[in-house]
Amino acid sequence: MLWSALLGSIPGTGPVVTMPRQTDPDDDNETDQALADHLDMDIGQAETDTDALQALVSDLDGDVSPLVSSVLETLVATIGDLHERVTELEADLEQTHEVATTAVGDAATNDHRLDDLEAQQETTRDVAKSAIAKAQQLEADADQQEDAEQLPEGIEPSTSPLDFFANCRQSKVKAMFVERSNRQNTYRAISIAKRWPEFATKRTDGSGVFMTKADLQTALTAELGKEPHRQTIKRVWETLVDIGGDDVVEKTRQVGRDQTQTDILAMDMATAEGLLEKRYIGLDLLENSDHKAATGGVTPVVVESTP
């Protein structure tokens, strides 16, 4: 717009173009393009050549008044300064982008390292717990060899085969029942009992939990990754009763008079929470223990002695 107003008064450049008071971008573009065509300039290029503009102003020297010449030179200098500023801003933008990209990469790396550290911490804690438990077991064996039921100090005895196997390392329990003796339903019963927070129902007073056959079916579906056969549900239910001993009580539940009775397996809260304690991880308590669980017996080494 300013170029149009100034150059319109320059001899040899044609009449002044009168612009409307209100224009839109298309009008401005058409006017600027007309002026560029008249001066044989290309305004579609990426950036204006300030040297070419300066040469044009120099060529006009003598044909325009000193004031106009001064204004044109000022405009050319301003354009040059703006180009330099744009270049600086583009460089700053590129640097900012690189910094942001680096920050995102560092954040992802830190997250990965944090996951690794958490995994290492869990492993270290497990190893330490195992070492302490084994040391206590050796001490107990040395001091009281005649008492086969003695456990390391601070380790509570189990109350049932279910409680015992639930507190051992599950990879070893699986090897015992699945890989060595082909008793998958026993292993499934132990695994599902430990998943009571997901599938069992807590009593309203918080005193215990219970599981229906429908709950057991849902838990088995999650455990197996597919819908279990009805015979599998029946056998796992019976296995829970067998290895649960006094910890698992089979009973019926009826909400209202109009409701039919429902079979449930119930545990008190202390028993249920005890299944999750991992008390025997690190202790060598699974030797010759599988044949005892087959008949519902309890491994002597983890059962509190009675007079």
Global model pTM greater than 0.75:
no
From residue 270, alpha-carbon distances to 7, 111, 162, 278 in Å are 95, 37, 14, 14
Q: Does a structural domain hold residue 94?
A: no
Task: Give the pLDDT score at 2.
Answer: 45
Q: Does a structural domain hold residue 240?
A: yes
Crossing angle of helices 213-224 and 184-194, rounded to 10°: 110
Q: CA-CA-CA-CA torsion for 254, 256, 257, 262, nearest 10 degrees? A: -20
Rounded CA-CA distance 68/169 in Å is: 92
Q: Does a structural domain hold residue 138?
A: no
Q: What is the pLDDT along the chain (307 residues), one digit of tens a residue?
A: 444 444 444 445 455 444 445 556 566 566 666 666 665 655 555 555 667 777 776 766 666 677 777 777 788 788 878 878 888 888 888 888 888 888 777 777 777 777 777 777 766 666 556 555 554 554 444 443 333 345 777 788 889 999 999 999 999 999 999 888 889 999 999 999 999 999 999 999 999 999 999 999 999 999 999 999 999 999 999 999 999 999 999 998 876 677 788 999 999 999 999 999 999 887 777 765 554 444 444 443 444 433 3
Q: Does a structural domain hold residue 228?
A: yes
Task: Give the pLDDT score at 43.
Answer: 55
Task: Give the pLDDT score at 184.
Answer: 92
Task: Give the pLDDT score at 250.
Answer: 94
Q: Does a structural domain hold residue 129?
A: no
Domain range for 252:
161-302
Q: Does a structural domain hold residue 22?
A: no
CATH number of the domain within which 258 lies:
1.10.10
Q: Which residues contact 94 (CB under 8 A, 6 or more apart)?
A: none
Task: Give the pLDDT score at 35.
Answer: 61
Rounded CA-CA distance 197/99 in Å is: 46
Q: Does a structural domain hold residue 9?
A: no
Q: Does a structural domain hold residue 68?
A: no
190 with 290: CB under 8 angstroms? no
Report the number of distinct structural domains present in the chain.
1
Task: Give the pLDDT score at 128.
Answer: 58
- Could you tell me the end-to-end alpha-carbon distance of the chain, in angstroms, rounded to an integer? 108
Task: Give the pLDDT score at 112.
Answer: 75
